[in-house]
Amino acid sequence: MPKPSSPPSVMDAQCPSRLVLDRIADKWTALIIQILARGTMRYATLQREIGGISQKMLTQTLRSLERDGLVQRTVHPVVPPKVEYSLTTLGRTLIEPLRTLCRWSEKHLAELQANRARAKAVAAVAERG
């Protein structure tokens, strides 16, 4: 008799839900979702809006999001081709959780920077011995 499958758990090293968590916890994913929450956009606009992302990373992330069904890529049959990206229904379910995470990052930035500076100072003192 087959063993009943257990529910997905990101704590289980063998569970594919870890791949999902890896995808949505990525900084570029969070930023792309936040930008596409405003509406459909072309590639160049996305790249301009996301400061610091390389063309390669944007392309890779968009492809992954499209493969996972979070982003829809639409190619319009014109010359030159016009390609637009938008969130799918599933992708839109990530807007609020990722917006909350982005706001938390902004709200607690000063505290995190202060903690890092303290840790760096302690490490420097310990290094000098």
pLDDT band at 128 (very low <50, low <70, confident <90, very high): confident
Q: For the segment 51-72, what is each residue's pLDDT rounded down to a tens digit? A: 999 999 999 999 999 999 999 9
Number of domains in the chain: 1
Confirm if 42 and 85 have CB atoms less than 8 A apart.
yes
CA distance 126 to 129: 5
Residue 5 included in any domain: no
Sheet containing 41-42: order of strands: 41-42, 82-87, 71-76
Residue 6 included in any domain: no
Give the residue-averaged pLDDT of 108-117: 93
Residue 119 included in any domain: yes
pLDDT band at 10 (very low <50, low <70, confident <90, very high): confident
Tokens of 114: 């202060």
Residue 11 included in any domain: no
pLDDT band at 4 (very low <50, low <70, confident <90, very high): low
For residue 66, what is the domain's CATH number?
A: 1.10.10.10
Give the residue-averaged pLDDT of 22-42: 95
CA distance 88 to 37: 10
The rounded mean pLDDT for the chain is: 92
| Parent domain of 123 | 17-128
What backbone phi and psi angles, to 5 degrees, belong to 8? -60, 140
- Quick one: three-class SS letters along 52-106? CCCHHHHHHHHHHHHHCCCEEEEEECCCCCEEEEEECHHHHCCHHHHHHHHHHHH
